[in-house]
Structure 1
């Protein structure tokens, strides 16, 4: 019998209505005490609702509109309160064995589509076992270490499974030498070495140089494979910086890292997921 004084609550993020309904029906049968009051259809809603409802478990479809399951997990890891236990993540995926091996290492569990009741029962048992080990009336211990563990697993999962999760074959990508940005009726040619940082907005990327800022219609997901990873480091889900343009990395008392740039007065924040890049050598 569970020692929890409140029901375990879960968020389901699945864009296919039939699969979502099937998962809910099976969970209601296998774990009737589980609170399934939060069910969403895309990655944006998953992030918003998770930060509001603070669920104990996340069932994340990998390939969702708006944000992938990995992107949802990353954004939550960046924004999650440090004093709250991070939810257990169960990825729901249709991908092949390569991705499955990554999920086995870097998630609480994974479920292959179509979802089978027998496999879901094993997931439920694994989750229940985790929650039964928690001490009642006591805040989940070492929440900071727990979050750091999740962040480390996310990094590993991104590296192991990114080619499969993007849905595209692994192909050599020619690195960008020049960025072409529309400015009115003109095209501004920006040498890649002049870029200080890229900042993603809703549907555009802001390309910042010492002289100007320019918008290009792209996403970081499309841009990153075209950049030299030795020179351009992702430091936030929406920011990529030219590392040779960084003057100093400052860590405050709370552990937050801020970058000072050589040729810009802008200050760039480094998220938890990428803070390891700036550890002292």
Structure 2
């Protein structure tokens, strides 16, 4: 088989190194066009390199594996997800639309995934119909959307020398600042130590959008998308009148605004 290009995206360094090493042993002709430690870099690499295969962590800082997968699939690529949670193994995986690996990745299981990818690539070369990967991604996104007890309802935050209980309905945006995360409301700011990545996992994605590696905003608080003289984008909020940065991987959210 001719060389196949691949993208690896995993935010945990030991897991990333192990996966790259295992792939080198199991699939010597695989050509790694990018090895990324976060979702933003992975999305940029997917757009630039258009890999035939991508091994993606579902949960990554900045941009999740599903967003990267959409870019890969849009250009005809195949996807294998890595995850620490087996509840993501939905029926679509068993149907063969894509594959998943539980972390830490076992060599035997990776060998199975590689064999399936090789077979899928051969079938494509032979003209076989491709499965509906976009449908799989939509199903996965629905499964991953936090519901019920997984949704954040209250934020316990520091305000000066006191601790304040903030209802999630009060929050306008979260913004990473050094070792803290700023929690902005209409009546003032507070800070928390919880990483932004963990906060995002507990937010309703229909209510809050991540717009930058370090910023998550309530959609209803957005007034408009603006661009400055340097060509950089920002979100102007209604109240308070503040502007948050928007990075390129998230601009697709504002098409039609």
> Residues 245-265 of structure 1, C-alpha deviation per residue, up to 9 Å, x if partnerless?
3445789xxxx9975422123
Equivalent-residue separation in structure 2 for 1:177 and 1:261 (angstroms): 22
Q: Secondary structure at the match of 2:27?
A: helix
Partner of 1:216: 192
Equivalent-residue separation in structure 2 for 1:70 and 1:115 (angstroms): 26
Residues 23, 115 of structure 1: 8 Å contact kept:
no
Partner of 1:141: none
> Residues 170-212 of structure 1, C-alpha deviation per residue, up to 9 Å, x if partnerless?
87258545542243xx136364454321223564322223464
Partner of 2:54: 58
Query: How is 1:1-281 mapped onto 2 (pairs within 5 angstroms)?
Result: 7-13=3-9, 15-16=14-15, 20-28=20-28, 32=29, 34-36=30-32, 38=34, 42-43=37-38, 47=42, 50=45, 54=49, 56=51, 57-62=53-58, 67=60, 71-74=64-67, 76=68, 85=75, 87-93=77-83, 95-96=85-86, 99-103=89-93, 108-111=98-101, 113=106, 114-115=108-109, 117-130=111-124, 154=137, 156-161=139-144, 172=149, 176-177=153-154, 179-183=156-160, 186-187=161-162, 189=164, 191-192=166-167, 193-201=169-177, 203-210=179-186, 212-224=188-200, 232-236=207-211, 238=213, 239-247=215-223, 259-263=235-239, 264-267=241-244, 269=246, 271=250, 274-275=253-254
> 1:126: how far off?
0.9
> RMSD of the alignment, in Å?
5.0
> Residues 88-119 of structure 1, C-alpha deviation per residue, up to 9 Å, x if partnerless?
32224565375243546896443564425455
> 1:161: how far off?
4.2
Residues 198, 206 of structure 1: 8 Å contact kept:
yes
Q: Which has the higher strand share?
A: 2
Residues 90, 107 of structure 1: 8 Å contact kept:
no
Q: Secondary structure at the match of 2:8?
A: strand
Q: Which runs of 5+ in 1 are unaligned?
A: 134-148, 164-169
Q: Secondary structure at the match of 1:59?
A: strand
TM-score (norm 1): 0.56
Equivalent-residue separation in structure 2 for 1:132 and 1:69 (angstroms): 37
* Number of aligned residue pairs: 234
Equivalent-residue separation in structure 1 for 2:50 and 2:205 (angstroms): 35
Equivalent-residue separation in structure 2 for 1:20 and 1:172 (angstroms): 36
TM-score (norm 2): 0.60
